Amino acid sequence: MASRVNLSVIIPMYNAEKYIANTIASIQNQQEHSMVYEIIIVDDCSTDQSRQVVKDLNNDNIRLIELKQNGGTSHARNAGIAAARGEWLQFVDSDDAICSDLYSKFEDAQRPLINCYVFSLIIEEHNQTIQRKIVQVKDKRAIGYFYAVWNFFIRKEICAEFNHISRQNEDVCFIVDMMNIKNLKVDLIKDAYYILNRKNDASKMANFSEKEYLKMYNYVYGRINHCDVLTTMFILESFVGIVFSQVMPLFMSLRVAMRTIFKLFYFLPAVYSNGIRNCVKNTTIA
């Protein structure tokens, strides 16, 4: 392993024996680039053959951390952050993949003062593929376009730790904490994609938990008093928007939306003038 590592790819893993080899292959089979990277796989006490699949790859660029107790995705990612030697961090889920030109485009996009780069998303469903393309970045709230941590690179020195409030919605808590970092500078890697696997019916995203969602909601809602105006607007607008969610039970989404809608009125001018989320273009490709 080289003494200097440009990028640490952190993959929390739990019972991913069907997917993990493909995830790693998508990282290793990138188009030509000059970055030195390491893959840190943090196994959260898998009960299948996930660890053995990784060991059988026998690759010096892969570091396998085997946790002694199951602690959830946040705990696994924090263990990966602590072990990372890279200047930049990337978070990848163990059943997903990245497009083959992501790293070459990341290398070309880098410029001074930027400490976070976002990129677009391809969602693979059972019966369709959805491309969600980011066309513009207006400010640091761009890190929250998809309310997840898959679609960005971030410098290690500015990366927050993951909160353990919710085991199922930890990404949202992390995103809000990152938005509150004053010197976060975000830019866009154009036409670059993360591939999200929605065909895995055993994933957390496929199994909604009201209890875990409310843990996240109460944490994020409680952070409003610590946020600037635009971040507060982003939070409130998002919670009102979940009334249209097809994942959450209607009675619950209405309850969450009604609690926040009255606060949102104060921030409507900022919503209208900023329109951050309008920079995501939705295109369905069969």
Most confident of the ranges 25-29, 58-62, 272-276: 25-29
222: number of Cβ within 10 Å: 10
Domain 5-207: give its CATH superfamily: Spore Coat Polysaccharide Biosynthesis Protein SpsA; Chain A (3.90.550.10)
pLDDT band at 53 (very low <50, low <70, confident <90, very high): very high
Q: Give the pLDDT confidence of 83-101 residue by residue, as tens digits.
A: 999 999 999 999 999 999 9
Per-domain residue ranges of the chain = 5-207
pTM of the model: 0.87
Give the pLDDT score at 231.
84
Give the separation between CA 160 and CA 243, rounded to whole angstroms.
29
Tell me: pLDDT of 202 over 80. no
Residue 58 has pLDDT above 50, yes or no: yes
DSSP three-state, residue 10 = strand
- The fraction of the chain above a pLDDT of 90, given in percent, is 58
